[in-house]
Each structure stands twice: as structure tokens, then as C-alpha cells.
Amino acid sequence: GTFVQYKDNNISRIAIPVQVGVGGAFKPNAKTTLALDVEVKPFSGKKIIIRDTLRLIPGAKDEEVTHDYDPEWRNVIAFRAGGEYLLTTSSSLFPTVPLRAGFGVVPLPDPNREEAIIDLNGDVHGIPTSTASGLNLSVGTGVYWTQVRLDLAYTFRSYSRTVGFVRSESRDHLFQLTFTGYF
């Protein structure tokens, strides 16, 4: 598939790769669930098609001139794992309390370029000039009644990008509250 973007009176088409993921869950007992998934995103070799000019021809097919741009994205593999334990209490106010935790390593398809650097001994080394990675950590809890579920989750996401010797980081915090009713 492709993603079409219109910006500054220009149209770009980005080839989106088919992403393949596999995951599974394991229940060692009735109260515990462990889950993990892996996702492959083959961005390498995908190009951006940029429209340079468009000539409208009345009564005929319009002429469109484009050029390809290779952003040199790299393939990435995302990995996520987590678990849940259902704590049963004797309280009628909080009969079942789920406890959850998870983490994920989600790299970004940043360009994978190398630059030749000559050290003090005169040796040539190739160092990556651009790398990017992401890390997700989450914890959650809630209360389960017979027909109503209330869940609260906190997620911390951190993204890091290095271009040459310059490193930039981004962090965000998400709080989510979910109400589910079975009526």
C-alpha cells in the first residue's frame, strides 16, 4: 500500500510495507496471563515518490512528473511483553483487582547511514550517523465486578535519536482510564 501526503502544494506517495506480527499468551494458572508479541516492519528499500509538476490537459490524460527519493530507512523489529495477575479479595467493594505490567522495545525506521571517520592513528572507521529507538513501560490495575470493569493504566514512552554526535530524546507519560459495562 501507499500513504499519500499533500503538503506545500506538493503530493508525495510513501510506500508502506506489509508489517508482519506474531504474538501469543500463556496461562500458567487461572489467575496469571503472560503475553508477548514480535512485529517486523520491513521499511528498507521503500521510496517516497514526490510529484514535481502536474500539467492539466483538457480532454486528455494529465501529465505528472515525479521523482523517487530513498530516505534509506532501516528494517525494524518491535518486541513487546507483559503479564497480568488477577488478585481475588474477600471485599465486596473490590472483589477482583487485576495487576498488570509490560514493556516494549519499539525501534523507529530512521535512516541507517554510516559515515567514514578517521581516528588519530589514521584508521578509517564507519560509524552510524543516524539511529533511533523507543522504549515503552506500562503498569496498570483496576477493579472487576460482575458486570462492570474499571481499569487504570500508566504508560511511559521514551524515544531516543542520534544523528552523528547529536542526541535528542523525547519522553511522554500517558494515563488511561477505561470503563466497560456488560448490560
Percent pLDDT > 70 in the chain is 84
- Supply the pLDDT for residue 66: 83
Q: How far is 91 from 100, CA to CA, in rounded Å? A: 20
pLDDT in tens, 90-145: 888 889 999 999 999 988 887 766 666 667 777 766 666 667 778 999 999 999 98
| Mean of all residue pLDDT scores within the chain | 84
Rounded to two decimals, what is the model's pTM? 0.69
Nearest to 49 by CA among 82, 4, 7: 4
Identify residue 78 by its one-letter amino acid code. Answer: A
Tell me the three cell numbers of residue 123.
584508521
pLDDT in tens, 48-76: 778 878 788 888 888 888 888 877 778 88
